[in-house]
Chains A and B, each alone.
Chain A
């Protein structure tokens, strides 16, 4: 088991490791209004990383993704993304928001949503050309939605909507994928398909970072894990979430230990048992009003 527990002393080592990295955060603090959400974050990810961000609701998972996406400006510290300051190479960044953040009643078809992935590179005035239409069709095929291009997004199932948003990310041909809870609440077949596509993108050298509160999915589908709760608790390979010490510090009061079994308790007082190396976490209870993860 390789576990890097981030402490103040590793910060200097990571400064030199930051060269050539896809993502490099150095002593970053950020929050909303005047309440800090993430403090003293140090994080380096290499190109081709397939990384899950795990942690409790309100622990800062979404905030970390928004920071890297350039949607939030850090209060202090430095963020390098794809070799430049956050936002500089934005056209090579694809961000997929949480399902709750999208207006599903918006009058738009699946194909039009995917075409939006081509907009930033097209720029004002230029209309999508044959290459753009081909890229949209290929992206829809890649996620198994080729037959649904003309369907309204509101008429699609939850899993299909997630497939369409991944297709939009693919169509923009990014170097960095940032996905906020991409597999939360979707059927197992969709989860497998989405992770297969993302795995292939990572193999091709693109960087994939996705938040999830499904620890079983994190260990199964991702190559590395970042545990977040107010700061980076730990960073390591998939076996990280089996480390009871890391779990205890990530989930704090939400985690109970009964003998050698870890029991996760989420905000809605649901609980699922974890034993024999498998940790499950109930999906449906997330997403209450005002939650921030």
Chain B
């Protein structure tokens, strides 16, 4: 039970990051491997905001959201937009380049040592703690689910959301409908990066240290989650994240296999790619001609 809640909580972090991967993939048809590093920048934003006198967690969170969103839009505008229409490989290499660039800048500015984020703690709730469940896990899980519900509603109800669905399916046809495709891509990067900033907040609740390579592992695992769920699919990213989080916590709770946890997770990726390359909820086009 505890393992399950911890797993789902970790899973919602992965899901939030995976959503960024999957939305950008669905709409811009590119793998944004710099997405994990947005989380790292978000964590440093929280670190900076919390190291002022009279730190306020709410202000820290808001500044992290702003920094991440702007960074996502910036990266898209200066690194990816000039490559629209270029080969996918060129875009992929650029994304990896952006990833290293962000890590290096963080290292120059903040140094390579982990910076402890002080005061980023939630009050203990006795009732939960007696079962061994941390407040952080519960808050992460609930907030994660709320954010995902909000995102689903946004995409299915709003005009921008339906434009996003249209762009993800056919950019040319979307233009003919009068949809500004570039604007939709920018909005997608903004939303994905904002979700990443929530991921950094939840991540810091578990490990309160900001460091330059912080985003690498969660980033690649969330990518795994997105592929497991079916890249391009929003419910798929949520499901994939949850599944991966639970598997990770279960593996960690069993002493014999816990050292192999990461290996098991990535083996799962390979297995899925072999058996069902479109992932759990990936698109199987129903098409009649």
Note whether A and B form a binding pair. Answer: no
Chain B residues near A (Cβ < 8 Å): none
Chain A residues near B (Cβ < 8 Å): none
